[in-house]
Amino acid sequence: MPVHYIYLLIAIMFEVTGTSMLQISQQFTKPLPSLGVVIGMRELSISCP
């Protein structure tokens, strides 16, 4: 499997995790799931060159 497909798969996983946490955090009103959103989006931006 080419490396760019692996990067794409990782990016998709972080995107799904981040958007799921956004729903769970009720639009950033709950602190712990909000941290999951921030970490998920941060890792998404780092993992995609």
Query: How many Å from the N-terminal Cα to the C-terminal Cα in the chain?
Result: 18
Q: What pLDDT sits at residue 47?
A: 60
Length of the chain as a residue count? 49
Q: What pLDDT sits at residue 27?
A: 79
Q: What pLDDT sits at residue 44?
A: 66
Give one DSSP letter per residue of 7-36, joined into a string: HHHHHHHHHHHHHHHHHHTTTTTSHHHHHH
Q: What pLDDT sits at residue 17?
A: 78
Task: Name the residue with higher pLDDT: 3 or 15.
Answer: 3
DSSP state of 49: -
pLDDT digits (tens, 9 = 90+) for 13-49: 877 877 787 788 887 888 888 887 777 777 766 765 5
Q: Name the residue ranges covered by the structural domains of the chain.
A: 18-49
